[in-house]
Amino acid sequence: MNRGSWAALIAVAPAAAVVLVLLTGGVVIALSQSLSPESGETGMLTLAHFAAVVSAPGFGRSLLLTLWVALISTVLTIALAVLTALSLRRMRVFQRIATFIYQIPLTLPHMVVAAAGIMLLSQSGLLSRLLTSAGLISMPSQFPELVFDRGGVGIVLVYVWKQVPFVGLFALSVLQSVGADYEAAARTLGARPLQAVRHVLVPLVMPGLLPSSIIIFAFVFGAFEVPLLLGARFPSMISVLAYRLYTDVDLSLRPQSMALSFVIAIVVLVLVILYRAILTASSRRGLVEAES
């Protein structure tokens, strides 16, 4: 290593050491608790806490809810991001203002968006009262149950609203880098506008959005604050279930909370490995195409 590399390494060493110590320490403590013998027993490390969590009556429904919320949030985010990116790309007037407004959700914390979702979308919220005042419904209780519902609709709406700009700006940059040549060529060959979008622009954008979709799915799968505020008491997403086990007055349930957290971490780790594999394959394919 040259002098510049050593200087850069020394510069980042203090921050990296703090992160490494805290992360490693937390992982080691959590793993030791999740593998510890059950209360009142002594002996070797055990997987009994993992077995207890997985075999618990509500785990199956919590897992299905978590997969459902993560999957539908990812699909809706990608679809709406592509649609909005195509709309912004075609906009000729006020494009900068629209793009600025489009980026506003990126600046808001998830907790703030979740609180706004409660005030806006609940049956006693602003939207239900406006519809009641307009005479479209007779009372606020007739408003659809969008938050605190067992289907996780409110959770999905918050995540989609928060994440669409993140993916949409990436899709917009890809569309702008592609330019209008491909679309113009398709129109010259007789394709209608929707056919050009469907068969030319969308296939050009989607390969770049696959890593983003994996990131979104992994994030929502392990997310905690929005499901806690907007989700139903039962079934709850597994991240919320882990939190409730950890904060339970029965301290013997804490190892199960750690075990459930590791289940979440393993799923997210697998998704991260898949994300890296896709990026590596894409970069190699790009090098092969450049050399050819």
The model's pLDDT over 210-234, given as tens digits with 9 standing for 90+, comes to 888 888 898 999 888 899 999 888 8
Examine residue 244 and state whether it is found in any structural domain, yes or no.
yes
Examine residue 6 and state whether it is found in any structural domain, yes or no.
no
Domain, as residue range, for 219: 59-291
Examine residue 30 and state whether it is found in any structural domain, yes or no.
no
Examine residue 2 and state whether it is found in any structural domain, yes or no.
no
What angle is formed at CA 113 by the lines to CA 112 and CA 117, rounded to 5 degrees?
120
The model's pLDDT over 104-116, given as tens digits with 9 standing for 90+, comes to 888 888 888 888 8
Number of domains observed in the structure of the chain: 1
In whole angstroms, give the CA distance from residue 172 to residue 119: 31
Examine residue 74 and state whether it is found in any structural domain, yes or no.
yes
171 close to 82: Cβ distance less than 8 angstroms:
yes
Examine residue 230 and state whether it is found in any structural domain, yes or no.
yes
Examine residue 11 and state whether it is found in any structural domain, yes or no.
no
User: Would you call 81 exposed, middle or buried from its count of C-beta atoms within 10 A (0-12, 13-18, 19+)?
Assistant: buried
What CATH number is associated with residue 84? 1.10.3720.10
The model's pLDDT over 233-277, given as tens digits with 9 standing for 90+, comes to 888 899 999 888 888 888 888 888 888 888 888 888 888 888 778
Most confident of 24-28, 134-138, 174-178: 134-138
Examine residue 19 and state whether it is found in any structural domain, yes or no.
no
